[in-house]
Structure 1
Amino acid sequence: MSSATERVLRDIAREREAQDALFGQQDLPNGTGPEFDGDATDYADAYRAECDKAFAMGAGTYRHIFMEEVFEALAESDPVKLRAELVQAVAVGVKWIEGIDRRTPRE
């Protein structure tokens, strides 16, 4: 694991600790899948198409990839598949943060 990834994951761990300190442990429902949002699959398909189109035009961004992964997660109701989609979304988020850190000096 690169030092950049380790730094981002430490930041995320600190944020998680702050969330627990503020809200305590939360065991909320997932709120995903067609039973919660009948349009979730349509949104996932739309963002996938938007992402493919943007990259085909040479205009793809982290936003395109991240939103595609997020909406794929929101469309998923199977817990195993949902977890895999969330891991993908968070990994893209970490990669995005690493890109920001490379372009922006940190204090």
Structure 2
Amino acid sequence: MNQPPPARNPLVITDRILSEILATRTRRDDHDGQTNHPDYDPRDIDIVTRREYQFRADNWASHNAERATPTITGGRCGYGHPSNGPHPHTAWDGLLLEQAYATLAEAHPVRLRARLMDLAALAVAWTEDVDRRIAAQAAVYVPPATHARSGDGAGCCPHTIPIGPGSCEDCWDLVKWDLLGGEQQ
């Protein structure tokens, strides 16, 4: 039986994330200039380095397969109680590490590029998941009345109480800032 894909939260927009990535890349290029590095430390023995990375990729693949196998767990798990039945424990850390090590193990430039694109897509997917968690908290967030938009200096937008779909970029940034406790990350 085909189920419809899960609805996407309107606050989680891949284009927004990709725009942030582009802005970050631009800032880095402006600061450091264009960077060109070898794929590996030239002092390393290429085949040994790639085999080590492949070993780590295989290890994380095995670990992720174990995490994906539904099990019944007790107190440590977010599902908490065995009455919830078997469930998987797949997590972003393992998925990213497996993909990163598999990418590092790749020798052929075209396949390396394809793996880097997969790794970047996985990082974007994880970022979207983090944004969904932020959006869940933002749904009840009320910004301070002193907030002013950067574009025109106006006070809080009428759509910002609470932050929701269609909120401006400044309001979205304010939520992220306040949820970090005012600490720049």
Query: Could you tell me the TM-score, scaled by structure 1's length?
Result: 0.89
Structure 1 position 63, deviation (Å): 1.3
Q: Deviations over 1:22-80 (max 9, x none)?
A: 11001111118x71614111011111111111111400011121111101001111111
Which of 58, 68, 77 is 1:45 aligned to? 58
Aligned twin of 1:74: 104
Which of 9, 23, 28 is 1:14 aligned to? 23
Structure 1 position 86, deviation (Å): 0.8
Q: Name the larger-Rg structure.
A: 2
In 2, Cα distance between equivalents of 1:28 and 1:83: 15
Q: Which protein has the bigger helix share?
A: 1
Aligned twin of 2:14: 5
Aligned twin of 1:95: 125
Secondary structure of the 1:39 match is helix
What is the RMSD of the two structures over their aligned residues, measured on CA atoms? 1.9
Unaligned runs of 5+ in 2: 1-9, 71-87, 139-171, 175-185
In 2, Cα distance between equivalents of 1:56 and 1:89: 23
In 2, Cα distance between equivalents of 1:31 and 1:18: 25
Choose 5-14 or 97-106, whichever is displaced more.
97-106
Choose 78-87 or 49-58, whichever is displaced more.
49-58
Unaligned runs of 5+ in 1: none
Runs of 4+ in 1 over 2 A off after TM superposition: none
In 1, Cα distance between equivalents of 2:24 and 2:14: 15
Alignment size in residue pairs? 105
1:55 is aligned to 2:68:
yes
Percent of matched pairs sharing the same residue: 27
Choose 50-59 or 72-81, whichever is displaced more.
50-59
